[in-house]
């Protein structure tokens, strides 16, 4: 059979500081009921460490799961739109920290579609024989860009990381088909302007420019149309029918988007994995974190046909069809954890609240 790239290891890193809907009620005019009804989110996690730290721990857990040493890797790829630094890349820093001394490394940015785009890249590397073992990480620290008095954005996003190890298979398992797309003309619907080279160097940042710009209604329409059409195309390219799909693992953007898109695809909710309620939208980290949770929950079995599908800023979208391999249980477990912290969400977000305060001078102070 043809050589394919199959997932042999998986892992995630969930930061320890929780931000619940009740907590958000202290920042803005909202309620738990309002947020859950519109997004399906009840809680999200915030990181007290850097994006690279999240990526490193998820990577080590995926390697242990696969039973591999970092020195056996040929390539490390990190999908992120919130890198700790632009140079060096997060992937290069992770490569150094985990001891992947024989691996090349680079970052990839397709926003929330990053893990799907990354999978297409590493699958091609493995299928071609250019790489044997590849580590793909999705990692985000999104909270730094949030104005926590803006309920249109801050209620949605959380921090986290997920990782997967890909190895070659000739047993019919692995990535069967890929569909990728983009529409740069709609890129203005989701913007993070604070990390680019636009404008002159400045010692100060403008809170009106710095944070995430997000057009929720426009994004909803793009997302539903984009991922349902993309998933349908990848199912067809894989030579499958909708009834052949055992599980859809979508980008965890919004429960209403997931429901609308999968209904269009003709997939019953019982075949869709959703974990957005406790993690929120973690962008490029959401699919690998969901894969890990789905395996832990016994939702993935050997030979299952699984669809990964996502949309993101850019605007980008993409889907992967794969046949799951024989491994559904970890070979080993990495025992490390993130550093402890005694901060709560209010202490962690104090700098954010102070920075964006000039935009909300007509509103009461945060309790």
Is residue 251 part of the annotated active site? The answer reads yes
Is residue 352 part of the annotated active site? The answer reads no
Task: Give residues with Cβ within 8 angstroms of 62, minimum separation 6.
Answer: 9, 10, 11, 135, 137, 163, 164, 165
What radius of gyration do the chain's Cα atoms show? 20
Residues 180/231, Cβ–Cβ less than 8 Å: no
Annotated catalytic residue, options 21, 43, 109, 281: 281
Q: How far apart are CA 305 and CA 58, in angstroms?
A: 24
Select from 94, 103, 154 the least CA-distant residue to 132.
103
Q: How far apart are CA 265 and CA 232, in angstroms?
A: 6
Q: Is the dihedral of CA 289, 292, 298, 300 positive or negative?
A: positive
Annotated catalytic residue, options 48, 143, 251, 360: 251
Is residue 112 part of the annotated active site? The answer reads yes
What would you measure as the largest C-alpha separation in the chain, in angstroms?
A: 66
Annotated catalytic residue, options 112, 143, 345, 352: 112
- Catalytic positions, written as ranges: 112, 251, 281
């Amino acid at each position: 059979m043809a050589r394919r790239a199959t997932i042999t290891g998986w892992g995630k890193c969930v930061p320890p500081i929780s931000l619940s809907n009740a907590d958000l009620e202290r920042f803005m005019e909202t309620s738990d009921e309002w947020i859950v009804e519109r997004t399906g989110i009840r809680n999200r996690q915030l990181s007290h460490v850097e994006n690279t730290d999240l990526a490193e721990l998820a990577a080590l857990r995926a390697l242990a799961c696969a039973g591999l040493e970092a020195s056996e890797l040929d390539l490390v790829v990190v999908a992120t739109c919130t890198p700790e630094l632009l140079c060096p890349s997060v992937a290069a820093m992770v490569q150094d920290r985990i001891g992947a001394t024989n691996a090349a490394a680079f970052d990839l940015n397709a926003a929330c579609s990053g893990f799907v785009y990354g999978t297409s890249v590493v699958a091609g590397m493995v299928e071609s024989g250019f790489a044997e073992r590849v580590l793909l990480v999705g990692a985000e620290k999104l909270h730094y860009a949030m104005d926590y008095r803006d309920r249109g954005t801050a209620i949605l996003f959380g921090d986290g990381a997920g990782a997967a190890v890909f190895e070659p298979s000739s047993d019919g398992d692995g990535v069967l088909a890929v569909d990728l797309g983009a529409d740069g003309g709609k890129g203005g619907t989701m913007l993070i302007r604070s990390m680019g080279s636009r404008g002159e160097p400045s010692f100060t940042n403008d809170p009106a420019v710095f944070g995430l710009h997000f057009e929720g209604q426009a994004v909803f329409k793009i997302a539903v149309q984009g991922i349902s059409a993309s998933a349908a195309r990848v199912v067809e390219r894989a030579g499958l029918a909708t009834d052949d799909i055992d599980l859809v693992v979508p980008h965890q953007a919004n429960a209403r988007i997931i429901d609308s898109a999968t209904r269009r695809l003709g997939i019953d909710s019982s075949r869709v994995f959703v974990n957005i309620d406790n993690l929120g939208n973690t962008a490029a980290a959401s699919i690998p974190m969901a894969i890990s949770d789905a395996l832990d929950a016994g939702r993935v079995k050997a030979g299952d046909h699984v669809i990964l599908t996502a949309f993101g800023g850019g605007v980008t979208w993409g889907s992967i069809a794969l046949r799951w391999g024989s491994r559904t249980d970890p070979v080993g477990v990495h025992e490390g954890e993130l550093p402890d912290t005694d901060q709560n969400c209010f202490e962690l977000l104090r700098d954010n609240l102070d920075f964006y305060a000039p935009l909300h001078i007509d509103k009461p102070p945060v309790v």
